[in-house]
Amino acid sequence: MKIKRLRNILKNFKGRKILVIGDIILDEYIFGKVSRISPEAPVPVVEVQSCNYLPGGAAYVATHINNLGGNVYLTGIIGDDKYGDEICKSLQNGNISIDGLIKDFERPTILKTRVIAQHQQVVRIDYEKKSHITKGIMERILNYVNNVIKEIEVVVISDYGKGVVIPSLIKKVIKLAHRFSKPIIVDPKPTYCLLYKGVTVITPNTAEAGASVGKVISNEKILIKVGKELLKRLNAKCVLITRGEDGMSLFEKGKEVVHIPTYAKEVYDVTGAGDTVVSILALSLAGGASIIDSAYLANIAAGIVVGKLGTAKVTLEEIKQALNEK
């Protein structure tokens, strides 16, 4: 029975060793209330009540994997600033090693500030520099990957299009992973999507998948065409297209397309859904699960996350409870 298999997959999460490479972001949440409109401009005045920081981007993937029992190895860049220090502190508080974090003195730590009032996001402010990392920084990232590649079980590439995941790095990481027979899971951006040739699983959303091959996915027929084209052009084992409220569609070599309906009961915030998917896929595949079972489990976890506000985490207990309800 599938539910029993999915429960057994969860038991294998503990201690799985996952390498995460990508754009490290600090998410700032400012919570407040609105009771009036500014006299200076037609905008709400937010009276701040609280503020907190959470690791975002590749760092969110790392905390997610760690929270579910995995042993995570994280590499990427931070700036030489208080926000970089905040990321380091947060990761260390969660017992995540910061050995792979590299300070880039030429750019700030990426900061995304979200102002939320009455459970609604009022505005998001991004502080970032998107230029490509230097050759020297790239070599330091690769040196870290070289040092841990034998220990880890799965490689996750978390591309937010902020300048860390560049073509030269992509090629070398994939080559290394192949040399040591490590599965590769990619959460891509359309810019470099077609460079991920030979990966195990790639997880674009519908917009990213369509943009990668110059199409707009407006119906199921186009969706299937795009999925099959990506599968062929990337020579990947699987393409998992995430479709928001319509669930996911799994394209696997030599098999029929599998459409997985969404688990979400209510959608409050899609922030972190894609990161949740790659986190669950990585832990499941590291534990020996099939891609189809891994995708079903990832779909359930993502459905839980979108029912929460902000960069939320899902727990093993929540996933177990969701399985009990099926």
**8 Å CB contact between 49 and 33:** yes
CA pair distance 103, 74, nearest whole angstrom: 14
Instruction: Say which residues have a Cβ less than 8 Å from residue 137's Cβ, sequence separation at least 6.
Output: 77, 102, 104
Q: Tokens in use for 217?
A: 């996915």
Under DSSP, the state recorded for 3 is H
Q: Of the candidates 144, 19, 24, which has an alpha carbon nearest to the alpha carbon of residue 71?
A: 19
Q: Of the candidates 308, 314, 303, which has an alpha carbon nearest to the alpha carbon of residue 268?
A: 308
Q: Tokens in use for 39?
A: 């006299």
**8 Å CB contact between 49 and 31:** yes
Q: Is residue 27 annotated as part of the catalytic site, yes or no?
A: no
Q: Tokens in use for 209?
A: 């998948």
Q: Tokens in use for 144?
A: 């870290």
Q: Of the candidates 263, 257, 270, 252, which has an alpha carbon nearest to the alpha carbon of residue 308?
A: 270
Which position among 80, 269, 275, 293 bears the catalytic label? 275
Could you give the residue numbers annotated as active site? Answer: 275
